Amino acid sequence: MRIVLAVFFLSLVIAAFATDAFASDFSSEPASNKFSDAEAEAIVSSVNSENGMNPVIIVPGLFGSQLEWRLKKAEHSPHFICKKDTHDSWDSFWIAVHDFLPLEIDCWLENMKLELQPNGVSTDRPGVTSRPRFWPSTKGVEYLDDVVGIEIIAQYAHNFLELLRKAGYEDGRDIFAHSFDFRHSPLNYYQPGGEFDDFYRLVEYSYKLNGAPAILVTHSMGSLHAVAALAQKDDAWKAKHIERLITAGAPYGGAPQMAGAMLNVKEFTLLPPWAKEKDFTPAAMTWCGVGWLAPDPELLSDPQQTLVTAHGKKYSYGEVEALMGDIKNGMMAQCYHQTRGLFTDKCPTKDCEPGVRTQVFYGKDIKTEKEYEITKGYGESFEHIEAKVVAYQPGDGTVPLDSSTTLPKRWMATGNNGKRIAMAEIPNCKHEDLLKGKVGAETIFKAMFTV
C-alpha cells in the first residue's frame, strides 16, 4: 500500500526535477512517447555504420543520475520515523517513490542537504554517504526510478539507448554512463578520486575493452563536466581515447532559471501537496551544483543586461554574486564565487576548448526566462522572497541561446587544437527533450555516424 500511494502521488508531481530545470516540464513530449520497434529500426537503417561503431559514454545532466545513500546517523531526524541507519546497505534516494510519503519526505529533505567547506568542496552531512547508483551502467540514467509502473514517468535516456541497442550496441560492452552526484560542487570533480578520475578510468576501460576511442554524448550540465575533464588531459590522451564529443543543451554561460530558483519564482513541482516549500528551498540551496549553473558573465556576450530588478535596484548578469549576498544566501554566494573561472583562467586550455572533434546541439525556439522582478521580501532571507518573470529570450526553455553558443564560438575562433567544431539547432525542442525526446535522441544518434 505504501508503494501504491507513493506511485500515485509521484505520478502527479514528478514533473520538474527529472532532468534539468527547477521548473521545467518533464513531460514536454508525452511521457509515453517512446520509439516503436519500427521507428527505431527505420532510424538505425538510415545511418551508415560501415566504418564500425565506436563505444558510447553518456554524461547526463543536472538531476539526470540515479543516486543512493548509506546512513549511519546519531539520531532519527527530523522525525522519529526517519531511518538513521541502513546497516551498511545502500538505499536509492534519487528518485525513490516512498520518500514522497507524508513525514518521510521531511527525512528525505534533511538527508539531501550538503555542507560546503572553506575550499569550495561540498560534502554530505554527518552520517550520510552518497554516490551515483549503478555507475557506470546505463541503468542509472535510462530511468530515474526503476520501480515497476514508474518507468514511463521517470524516463530519461531510454529513447537514445533504444536506438543504440537496435544498432547492435550492448550495455556494459560498448555503452556506458558516467552518472554523477549533480548536487555537489564542481570543485569535487578535481579532487583525487573525484568524478574526473572516475571519468578517465571509464574512458580508458572502454578503450581497453573495445580497442576504439569513445563517443561522448553529453546533456546539459554533463556537457560542462565532460568539457572541463577533457581540458585537463593532453592531446595524446584525447587522440587515443576520444573519437568525438556530442553536446546537447550545454549551459556554458549558465541558466537564468537557477537564479530564478533562488528567488522562488516558481514552485518546485516535484513536491506533493503536504510538503512545505519553505523546507525544500533551504535544502536545494545547499547544492553547489545548482549555484555553479547560475549565469556566468565571462561566458555570455552581454553580461551588462539586467537579470533582476528589486525596488528600483537592478542586478545585471555580472552581479549574480552581489544578488546572492543581498538575499542572504551566503552558501550559494560562496559556491558561486569559488566556481567562477573554471572555463577561463583556471582551465589549462584556451577558453577551455575540448581539443576533440565536437558537435554542439542547442535549442532556440522555446521561450526562455531572461529577467526577474522581486515582488516581496527583498532585504529578507531568500526563503521569504517572491519574484516573477518579466522578460524572455530565445533558448530551449531552460538554457538561453547565448549561453549555449558563446563559448563554442570562441573555440571555433581559436581553432580547438585543429579539431572540427560544428553547431546546429534542434528545432522546437525543449531542453529536457534534447536527449529524452524522440527528435533529440534521433538527431544525436545520427550525429554519431556523420563523417
DSSP-derived 3-state class of residue 272:
coil
Which domains, ranges and CATH numbers included, belong to the chain?
Answer: 2-447 (3.40.50.1820)
Q: If you ran DSSP here, which 8-state letter would residue 89 be given?
A: -
pLDDT tens sequence across 242-269: 999 999 999 999 999 999 988 988 755 5
Q: Which helix (H) or strand (E) holds 163?
A: helix 158-166
273: left (phi over 0), alpha (psi -120 to 50) or beta: alpha
CB 168 within 8 A of CB 24: no
pTM of the model: 0.92
Q: Which amino acid is at 335?
A: C
CA dihedral over 220, 221, 226, 228, signed as positive or negative: positive
Question: Quick one: pLDDT at residue 77?
Answer: 84
Question: Quick one: pLDDT at residue 389?
Answer: 96
pLDDT tens sequence across 128-156: 999 999 999 999 999 998 776 666 678 99
Return all residues near 383 (Cβ < 8 A) that are at least 6 apart: 264, 278, 281, 282
Instruction: Please give the share of the chain, as a percent, with pLDDT higher than 70.
Output: 88
Euclidean distance between CA atoms 426 and 428, whole angstroms: 7
Tell me the angle at which helices 158-166 and 438-447 cross, rounded to the nearest 10 degrees.
40
pLDDT tens sequence across 52-106: 789 999 999 999 999 999 999 998 888 888 999 999 999 999 988 788 888 888 8
Question: Quick one: pLDDT at residue 23?
Answer: 37
pLDDT higher than threshold 70 for residue 357 = yes
pLDDT higher than threshold 50 for residue 5 = no
Q: If you ran DSSP here, which 8-state letter would residue 245 be given?
A: E
- Using 50, 70 and 90 to split pLDDT, how confident is the model at 51? low
Q: Which amino acid is at 170?
A: E
Q: Which amino acid is at 269?
A: T
Euclidean distance between CA atoms 86 and 70, whole angstroms: 6
Mean pLDDT, to the nearest integer, of 371-386? 91
Higher confidence at residue 49 or residue 174?
174
Higher confidence at residue 166 or residue 25?
166
Euclidean distance between CA atoms 131 and 140, whole angstroms: 11
